[in-house]
Amino acid sequence: MKFKTFIAWGALASCMVSGAHAQAPVLKGSDVSEQALVEALTIEAPMSPEGKTRGFKPAQPVDSQGRALKPGPGKASLLITFPTDSAEITPETKATLDTLARAVQSDALAGFSFSVEGHADARGDPEHNMQLSRMRAEAVVTYLVSQQGILPQRLSPVGKGSNEPLNKTRIDAPENRRVTIVTIRG
């Protein structure tokens, strides 16, 4: 029997500005939709360095039905799977990544780039965990670029190792083995 590790995929937007990393609920199954991801990942449009827009207000992001979206929390977590100690994208994961790709390519998220941060749990050698987390982030970026046509300039893979667990009481918890997407202002 082949065991699979669970990878929580999270998106944290504007955390570089605020410095806060709040945990988002994990979306799975029928909860994962393009609309849910767009709403969660939408953040306020960037302003000029002086905070002025030269008389123009940045466009309000809209959903697929043309309804205005309010800035969201900037984060969404998806439960996806990788084979144990592997960065191989599984068929089950592809459907979730395809949905994520549609959200990232939506008009509401146009102009944003994303840092793809791989994470590992603390069971194992820290150097190996760092390498594994980097490989998972790179595998996600490679899939989104090669299979979904997302511009490579919009995605930057980063390995974080086991330094940022979401569940500190249980080191082998599935949510500690994840890929986090951080929305970066254009």
Element of type H or E holding 181: strand 178-184
* pLDDT band with cut points at 50, 70 and 90 for residue 39: confident
Does the global pTM surpass 0.75?
no
Q: May I ask the CATH architecture of the domain 4-42+68-184?
A: 2-Layer Sandwich (3.30)
> How is the chain split into domains, by residue range?
4-42+68-184
- Within 8 A by CB and 6+ apart from 159, the residues are 117, 118, 130, 131, 132, 133, 134, 135, 137
State the Cα–Cα distance between residues 157 and 141, nearest whole angstrom.
7
Q: What is the mean pLDDT of the chain?
A: 74
If one compares 179 and 137, the residue with the highest pLDDT of the two is 137
State the Cα–Cα distance between residues 7 and 4, nearest whole angstrom.
9
Q: In the chain, what is the straight-line distance between the N-terminal and C-terminal CA atoms, in Å?
A: 45
Cβ atoms of 180 and 10 closer than 8 Å: yes
**How does strand 77-83 pair with strand 4-13?**
antiparallel
Cβ atoms of 7 and 80 closer than 8 Å: yes
State the Cα–Cα distance between residues 145 and 151, nearest whole angstrom.
6
Q: What is the pLDDT of residue 69?
A: 55
Show the tokens assigned to 5.
């590790």
pLDDT tens digit string along 12-37? 333 333 333 445 556 666 777 888 87
Residue spans of alpha helices (H) in the chain: 15-18, 34-41, 91-104, 126-148
Cβ atoms of 103 and 38 closer than 8 Å: yes
